[in-house]
Amino acid sequence: MFNIFRIAAVTLLTLFAAVRLSAQTSLKGKIIDSSTKEPVTGATVQCTAGCACGCATTALGEFELKHMGSCCKSFRVSSIGYQALVFDAGNAAGSPVTVIQLQQENNALQSVVVTANREGVKRSLAPVAVSTVSSRMIQETKPVTVDQVLNKVSGVYMVNLGNEQHSMSIRQPMTTKSLFLYLEDGIPIRTVGLFNHNALLEMNMASVKSIEVIKGPSSSLYGSEAIGGVVNFITAAPPVIPVAKISVQGNSIGYKRTDLQTGSTSGKWGFAFNGYYADKRNSFMEYTDFHKGAVTARVDYNFSSRTTLSNSYTYLDYYSDMTGGIDSAMYGNKSFNSKHTFTYRKVNAQRLRSTLNHTWNDHSKSTAAIVYRNNSIGQNPAYAVKDDYRRTSSGEWKGQKDLAHGEINEASFNSYAMILQHKQKLNWHQTALIGGVSADFSPSAYTAGYIGINRDSVSGKYTGYAASDSMLTHYNSDVNNYAAFMHVETSPFEELRLVASLRYDRFNYRFNNFLPPSAYSGAPDSRNNFSRVSPKVGFIWNFSQRTGIYTNYSEGFVPPQVTEMYKGVKVPDLVPSVFRNYEVGGWAELIRGKLSADVSLYRMRGSDEIVSMMMDDGSYQNRNAGETLHQGVELGVTANPLKSLSFRFSGALSKHRFETFEEKGVAYDGKEMNGAPRWMHNAEAWYRPAYINGLRVGIEWQKIGRYFLDPVNTVKFSGYDVFHFRAGYSWKAMEVWMNVMNAGDSYYAYTASKSNYGYSYTPGEPRNLTLGVSYDLGSLFRKGRAD
Per-residue pLDDT tens for 138-167? 999 999 999 999 999 999 999 999 999 999
Q: Does 216 share its domain with 319?
A: no
Domain ends where: 231, 246, 261? 231
| Statement: residue 613 has pLDDT above 80 | no
Domain ends where: 73, 102, 131? 102
- What's 48's domain CATH number? 2.60.40.1120
Q: Which residue has the higher pLDDT, 13 or 165?
A: 165
Q: Does 485 share its domain with 599?
A: yes
- Euclidean distance between CA atoms 588 and 360, whole angstroms: 36
Per-residue pLDDT tens for 272-282? 999 999 999 99
Per-residue pLDDT tens for 14-54? 434 444 444 446 677 888 887 788 888 878 888 876 676 77
- Top mean pLDDT of 41-45, 220-224, 385-389, 590-594 is at 220-224
- Euclidean distance between CA atoms 451 and 400, whole angstroms: 15
Q: Does 462 share its domain with 567?
A: yes
> Residue 375's beta-bridge partner residues?
349, 413
Average the pLDDT over each of 127-136, 195-204, 255-264, 518-527 and give the range with the smallest value.
518-527
Q: Does 162 share its domain with 241?
A: no
Q: Which residue has the higher pLDDT, 421 or 67?
A: 421
Q: Can you tell me the mean pLDDT for 636-649?
A: 94
Q: What is the pLDDT of residue 40?
A: 83
- What's 227's domain CATH number? 2.170.130.10
Q: Does 171 share its domain with 253?
A: no
- What's 353's domain CATH number? 2.40.170.20
Q: What percent of the chain has pLDDT over 70?
A: 91
674 within domain boundaries = yes
* Residue 558 near residue 224, CB atoms below 8 Å: yes
Q: Does 51 share its domain with 158?
A: no
Q: Does 236 share its domain with 226?
A: no
Per-residue pLDDT tens for 506-565? 999 999 999 998 877 888 999 999 999 999 999 999 988 889 999 999 999 999 999 888
Per-residue pLDDT tens for 765-785? 999 999 999 999 887 766 544
**Backbone phi, then psi, for 754, in 5-degree steps?**
-135, 135
787 within domain boundaries = no
Mapped onto helix, strand or coil, the DSSP state of residue 329 is helix
46 within domain boundaries = yes
Pairing of the two strands 403-425 and 432-455 = antiparallel
Domain ends where: 213, 231, 249? 231
- Euclidean distance between CA atoms 486 and 117, whole angstroms: 10
Q: Does 149 share its domain with 237?
A: no
Band (614; pLDDT cuts 50, 70, 90): low
Residue ranges making up the domain that contains 633: 232-782
pTM for the full predicted model: 0.91
Instruction: Quote the Cα angle for 761-718-338, to 5°.
Output: 15
Q: Tell me which amino acid residue 225 is.
A: E
Count of Cβ atoms closer than 10 Å to residue 187 Cβ: 18
* Residue 299 near residue 307, CB atoms below 8 Å: no
26 within domain boundaries = yes
Q: What is the pLDDT of residue 107?
A: 61
Domain count, the chain: 3
Per-residue pLDDT tens for 748-769? 999 999 887 789 999 999 999 9
Q: Does 448 share its domain with 582?
A: yes
Q: Does 460 share its domain with 494?
A: yes
667 within domain boundaries = yes
> Residue 735's beta-bridge partner residues?
730, 774
Mapped onto helix, strand or coil, the DSSP state of residue 639 is strand
107 within domain boundaries = no
- Euclidean distance between CA atoms 580 and 80, whole angstroms: 33
- Euclidean distance between CA atoms 380 and 383, whole angstroms: 9
Report how far Cα 155 is from the mean position of its chain's Cα atoms. 14
Band (697; pLDDT cuts 50, 70, 90): very high
404 within domain boundaries = yes
- Euclidean distance between CA atoms 710 and 174, whole angstroms: 12
74 within domain boundaries = yes
Q: Does 555 share its domain with 409?
A: yes
Instruction: Quote the Cα angle for 452-458-459, to 5°.
Output: 80
Q: Can you tell me the mean pLDDT for 368-392?
A: 92
Q: Does 419 share its domain with 564?
A: yes
